[in-house]
A and B are shown apart, each in its own frame.
Chain A
Amino acid sequence: MNAGPLIFLASFFALATSWFGFVLMPQLQIGRQEPVEIVGQEYPPRPPGAAHQGEQVYRANGCYYCHSQQVRPADFGTDVARGWGGRSGAVQSVAEDYLYAHPAMLGTRRVGPDLANVGLRHTNELEILQHIYNPRALMRGSMMPSYRYLFVTRSLKPGERPSPQAINIPGIPAGTEVVPTVEAHQLAEYLLSLHSQAILFETPPPPAPPTNAAAGKATNAPAAAPATNSAAK
């Protein structure tokens, strides 16, 4: 007898087990999640259009090969201790956070820091643009490559006024201007939109320090403004 059909059945059975356990079951458990309503607001919030387009810039340029977008629990690694977490920098990522992410780029490597809540830590678009143009200008020793192809760099004619869209880049020779392209702005918008703040059932608030009455009160409140939370950096 030819062993082929037997091998086929064996592989089929093994693969079906794996598919059942790791594709079907999680799909049934978390694949049909819907946004939840917290005190009149939807979580996760629908990203604004520019951020949505920026997500495609992030994808096309493969940012996720060096930046993860997943914060591990407080007792697992130092993600939370480094202030990468959402919800005032203290809580890990959960499945609910990614409902609108497409593609969901959770990443498997960290050559650069985690970006799941970069919008909580950085709120200034100009700083983000400067960082993308030349990472080493703001962060000495950064391994991040320059993304200056997302900018138009040109030298000004004598007496010519720089474009109103030009941004200030440290270390650029006089007489040149750097104008971010639409993609650069979209990418920055996307990064600014990355934050997970709402207190969910699966992410209870961390115990608040007893001395700070305001922080204790805030735990029951829904998403606070990013500007307030960014103080956690």
Chain B
Amino acid sequence: MSATTSSLTASPPNATQASTSAEITPALAINTSCQLPLLLLFVKSAAWLLAGSVIGLAATLKFHNPNFLADHAWTTYGRLHPAQTIAFIYGFAVQAVLGVALWIIAHLGRTRLAMTPAIVAGCVIWNLGVFLGIAGVLAGETTGYEWLEMPRFAAVFLFAGYLLIGLAGLATHRQLPGRAAYTSLWFLLAALFWFPWIFSTAGLLLLAWPVRGVMQAALDWWYMNNLSTVFFGCAGLGAIFYFIPKILRRPLYSHALGLFAFWCLVFFGSWGGAAPGTPLPDWMPALSTVGMGLTIVAVLAVAVNLRQTLAGGTAAVEDRIPLAFVRFGSVAFVIGGLLRPLTSLRHVSQYTNFTWFIAADRQWMLYGFLAMTMFGAIYYIVPRIAGMDFGNRKLVTAHFGLAAIGIVLYALPLAVGGVREGLAMSDAGKSFLEVEAGTLMPLRMSTTGELFMLAGHLVFVLNLTVLSWQLLRRHVTLALGGARPAEVSA
């Protein structure tokens, strides 16, 4: 990135040392403090993303050929699918969110990243937890609770790792000089607080001292909804509200509207999860529907705010792809955010629940909104913390194309196919097998989408690996030859 390189050459390391006493830390020093811990988080998350999509593809192929990989317990669908979920949610999504949140908090506060050794240690422990979780699931130690499939011992590692990284985030935030009430800060800090609470609540009441009977399902749904709607919602929106104004070099349209969206999202979004028709007391799905209905207000507030911010303003050439990713994520959030309340209505849920629509909706929010936003953020952050550009910008563009085509090709056929499936199912005269046969074509199309996403992940991993390798070489050259950074980058 040209801007970064020039700032690097303009201020040699000793200049940054001198300015630490000042209130405001220069961007270069912040980025240098972020280099090791954040690159570690991003590279690990990209690796899990790739691993998860390979596992996921193997799982999907079973729908097309039920005899595929049918001879071993650990390759059955019911083990591969949760392994993929753990790899995506805990391996990729949460780690990427943490890395991006730490970077934004440090930059909003114009302060160095605090407790970097704790972040590195937390990252190692967290990844151990992800690995143990996947290994446990493949070995048959699944807990039986969706999105919380990792065995107890793995969950402990995850929690400990998160606490270390989260504490570093808070410590960084504590260094904030003066008043700093940025919109994105509200979303990101809330997300940082939210995860340990819901994770420990669900972990304690499901894995440690399990509640009885149907309450387990109620808790699991509560956790799933809080994780996707509030934690990922806040994390993604926090990044969107930071990067769109930042890249376009113009202020966010309205801070008040952003805060309004925040309050609606954390209060009403956390009510969702109980689907109508489930064997729970009737007031629970009713309240869930009301809560999800009220999140429409938050989604509309976000839509207006971003629409006004995006109108006008141009991005620097090197920031166009990060902007494209983040813009895709924000459009996906608005579409998904308007669909969710609709499908939590009793009359709609009657048709859509249990169908492929559910899979499409989940993937749309997790990938179309969150992952795309995180890709954009990572492509913006990594060149700055590394002090060097991605060698091949075409590959970055290729990742965007593959990911965008992939997610649309995955979610759209499944959403349409799911609705058709639900409508067909509402005719009791049609046999279950007949209805299922109708979902084969949408499934084939979605598998094509999965292949595109997988190719995108390969490119993503390649991009990050090449850059990390070049960075490592530069460090080695610097350490051995003592060359100035200016000479190396020249």
**Which residues of A are at the interface with B, using a C-beta cutoff of 8 A?**
1-4, 7-8, 10-12, 14-15, 17-19, 21-23, 26-27, 29-33, 59-66, 68, 70, 72-73, 76-78, 81-82, 92-95, 97-113, 135-136, 139-150
Interface membership of chain B positions 61-85, coded 1 if the CB is closer than 8 angstroms to chain A and 0 otherwise: 0110011101111001111011000
- List the 7 closest A-B pairs by CB distance, nearest first: A62-B78, A103-B144, A18-B270, A60-B140, A81-B428, A72-B277, A110-B354
> Is the beta-carbon distance between B174 and A4 smaller than 8 angstroms?
yes
Interface centre among A21, A30, A32, A104, by most chain B C-beta atoms within 10 angstroms, is: A104
B263 interface hit (Cβ, 8 Å): yes
Interface membership of chain B positions 187-202, coded 1 if the CB is closer than 8 angstroms to chain A and 0 otherwise: 0011001100110010
Chain A residue numbers with a CB within 8 Å of B186 are 3, 7, 10
State the Cβ distance, B246 to closest chain A Cβ, in Å.
Answer: 19
Which residues in window 243-293 of B have CB below 8 A to A?
A: 262-263, 266-267, 270-271, 273-281, 284, 287
> Is the beta-carbon distance between A62 and B82 smaller than 8 angstroms?
yes
State the Cβ distance, B172 to closest chain A Cβ, in Å.
Answer: 11
State the Cβ distance, A233 to closest chain B Cβ, in Å.
Answer: 13
State in angstroms the CA–CA spacing of A65 and B142 once bound together. Answer: 12
> Is the beta-carbon distance between B170 and A4 smaller than 8 angstroms?
yes
14 further A-B contacts with Cβ under 8 Å, apart from A70-B278, A103-B216, A142-B433, are: A2-B179, A2-B180, A3-B179, A3-B186, A7-B186, A18-B222, A31-B211, A59-B144, A78-B425, A94-B279, A109-B355, A141-B437, A145-B62, A145-B67
Q: A3-B179, A18-B226, A30-B214 are in contact. Are A149 and B198 (CB under 8 A)?
A: no
> Is the beta-carbon distance between B141 and A60 smaller than 8 angstroms?
yes
Chain B residue numbers with a CB within 8 Å of A30 are 213-215, 280-281
B25 interface hit (Cβ, 8 Å): no
B13 interface hit (Cβ, 8 Å): no
B319 interface hit (Cβ, 8 Å): no
> Is the beta-carbon distance between A2 and B76 smaller than 8 angstroms?
no
Among B72, B143, B176, B354, the residue within 8 A (CB) of A103 is B143
> Is the beta-carbon distance between A29 and B266 smaller than 8 angstroms?
no
State in angstroms the CA–CA spacing of A63 and B206 once bound together. Answer: 19
List 19 contacting pairs A-B, 8 Å CB cutoff, sorted by A: A2-B174, A4-B189, A7-B185, A11-B193, A18-B271, A19-B201, A26-B280, A60-B142, A65-B82, A76-B277, A77-B353, A95-B214, A97-B279, A99-B213, A106-B214, A106-B278, A140-B433, A141-B433, A144-B66
State in angstroms the CA–CA spacing of A157 and B62 once bound together. Answer: 33
Chain A residue numbers with a CB within 8 Å of B73 are 60-61, 149-150
Chain B residue numbers with a CB within 8 Å of A143 are 63, 66, 436, 440
State in angstroms the CA–CA spacing of A112 and B173 once bound together. Answer: 49
Q: A104-B213, A141-B433, A149-B71 are in contact. Are A8 and B78 (CB under 8 A)?
A: no
**Which residues of B are at the interface with A, using a C-beta cutoff of 8 A?**
62-63, 66-68, 70-73, 76-79, 81-82, 140-146, 170, 173-174, 176, 179-181, 185-186, 189-190, 193-194, 197-198, 201, 205-206, 210-219, 221-222, 226, 262-263, 266-267, 270-271, 273-281, 284, 287, 346, 350-351, 353-355, 358-359, 425-428, 432-433, 436-437, 440
Q: A12-B193, A145-B77 are in contact. Are A22 and B66 (CB under 8 A)?
A: no
Chain A, Cβ-Cβ closest to B422: A77
Chain B residue numbers with a CB within 8 Å of A104 are 144, 213-217
Among A61, A62, A99, the residue within 8 A (CB) of B212 is A99
State in angstroms the CA–CA spacing of A137 and B170 once bound together. Answer: 58
Chain A residue numbers with a CB within 8 Å of B353 are 77
Q: A11-B193, A65-B77, A145-B76 are in contact. Are A3 and B142 (CB under 8 A)?
A: no
Interface centre among B62, B63, B146, B186, by most chain A C-beta atoms within 10 angstroms, is: B146
> Is the beta-carbon distance between B436 and A111 smaller than 8 angstroms?
yes
Chain A residue numbers with a CB within 8 Å of B174 are 2, 4
State in angstroms the CA–CA spacing of A4 and B68 once bound together. Answer: 52
> Is the beta-carbon distance between B279 and A106 smaller than 8 angstroms?
yes
State in angstroms the CA–CA spacing of A36 and B137 once bound together. Answer: 36
> Is the beta-carbon distance between B170 and A148 smaller than 8 angstroms?
no
State in angstroms the CA–CA spacing of A10 and B267 once bound together. Answer: 9
State in angstroms the CA–CA spacing of A2 and B355 once bound together. Answer: 46
> Is the beta-carbon distance between B427 and A23 smaller than 8 angstroms?
no
